């Protein structure tokens, strides 16, 4: 399959699908999920990004893909039905962005460490834990599965400024 056929359109805020809670992936979904995973990775790498959740490409399934090393050694991981099962009380603040809010960034405070349980494509259960960028990315992508965006962690003033700037940028892009 050519790269063009793999690429999926990324939904942009305020698309209502981005605010929906995704349903769990069931065994009946696995054929679709196994097709979706390479499409999501191709779309994420092309964007470029380090994480992508299924609702961002219009699939309301609990599925995320992550690769924190797209320019160095690729370390792709697909997480089916991921859930945070432990998190630190310590918080960390780092700048976040999102492929569904292109060119918009803000500091977000989250737990500095998380442990996530998920399934792989074969249905085997795994756990991954991480701090730093990995912890933020895992939480950010799992938030998408619950209809939550990083801007929801901002004050209403900052959130509204960022969303207005995004709307203006999108309008200018369409005008070109």
Q: Which residues are the active-site residues?
A: 141
CA–CA distance, 139 with 84 (Å, rounded to integer): 8
Give burial (CB, 10 Å; 0-12/13-18/19+) of 123.
Answer: exposed
Cα distances from 120 to residues 25, 28, 38, in angstroms, run: 11, 15, 13
Sign of the torsion formed by the C-alpha atoms of 155, 161, 145 and 51: negative
Q: For the chain, how are helix, strand and coil distributed in percent, rounded to 5? A: 40, 30, 30
Place of tokens 């991480």: 130
Give burial (CB, 10 Å; 0-12/13-18/19+) of 122.
Answer: exposed
CA–CA distance, 140 with 155 (Å, rounded to integer): 17
């Amino acid at each position: 399959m050519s790269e063009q056929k793999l690429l999926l359109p990324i939904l942009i805020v305020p698309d209502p699908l981005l605010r929906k809670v995704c349903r769990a992936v069931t065994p009946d979904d696995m054929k679709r999920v196994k097709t979706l995973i390479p499409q999501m990775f191709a779309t994420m790498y092309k964007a470029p990004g380090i994480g992508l959740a299924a609702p961002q490409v219009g699939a309301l399934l609990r599925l995320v893909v992550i690769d924190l090393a797209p320019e160095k050694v690729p370390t792709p991981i697909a997480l089916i039905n991921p859930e945070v099962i432990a998190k630190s009380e310590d918080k960390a603040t780092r700048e976040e962005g999102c492929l569904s809010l292109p060119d918009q960034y803000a500091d977000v405070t989250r737990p500095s460490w998380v442990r996530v349980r998920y399934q792989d494509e074969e249905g085997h259960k795994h756990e991954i834990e991480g701090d730093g960028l990995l912890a933020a990315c895992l939480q950010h992508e799992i938030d998408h599965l619950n209809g939550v965006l990083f801007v929801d962690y901002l004050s209403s003033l900052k959130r509204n400024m960022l969303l207005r700037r995004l709307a203006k940028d999108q309008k200018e892009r369409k005008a070109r």
